[in-house]
Amino acid sequence: GGSLGARGLLALAVASGAAAWATWAVLLMPGFRRVPLRLQVPYQPSSPRQVANALALLRGRAGKTVDLGSGDGRLVLEAYKQGLRPALGYELNPWLLCLANYRAWKAGCHGEVSFLKKDLWKVNLSDCHNVIVFLAPSVKPPLATKLLAELPDDARVVAGRFPFPSWTPSTTLGQGLEQVWAYDMKEVRREVQDSAQQSQV
């Protein structure tokens, strides 16, 4: 009986490992194949509190709203419900895009929000006024450069889970894993320019 029990545990461990690998290979890996390793971000759904905090920092604003790496679409859907329109997400993983579109259909928002299979590094963000970023720390420095180069002065960037390390937030909400940070691009640019001038002195 003990021998069979050990074999059963081993078989269970092997089956669990195979299932985890299959999930990664089929559901998550397709969105990463064309992205450099250092810029890859694994899918991690936002909690209800993270979503609420992020959208609270965009309340009352207008203009095009995008979620970079939109995953299953929950942030885009909440942005649309809050009146932020147009609302769209950029996501490379086709399975997550299908899930996002299903969630939009289920919420009665199909055709009202957009989920596009596009590399966030290749899209032009110059017409975006509200940008949501729930991405890994390794992505933040190169993304900061892109946002500085493309976003208009009146844009606001809301980061979840991890802040932009070189930017000072205009405001923040929540604590721990639920904390979000808001950055107003006009203030960020002023701070970057002041820092550059001081380094030249």
The closest of 133, 163, 136 to 147, measured between CA atoms, is 133
Q: What is the pLDDT of residue 25?
A: 46
What 8-state DSSP symbol labels residue 28?
I
38-83, pLDDT tens digit by residue? 444 567 888 999 999 999 999 999 999 999 999 999 999 999 999 9
Rounded to two decimals, what is the model's pTM?
Answer: 0.79
Task: Give 41-45 contacts, CB < 8 A, sequence gap 24+.
Answer: 41/69, 41/135, 41/136, 41/139, 42/136, 43/71, 43/72, 43/93, 43/96, 44/71, 44/134, 45/71, 45/72, 45/74
What dotted CATH number matches 47-197?
3.40.50.150
Domain assignments of the chain as residue spans, ordered by start:
1-29, 47-197
Low-confidence ranges of the chain (pLDDT < 50): 1-3, 21, 24-40
Res 44: pLDDT: 80
Tokens at 118, concatenated: 């596009």
Q: Which pLDDT does position 28 carry in this prediction?
A: 47
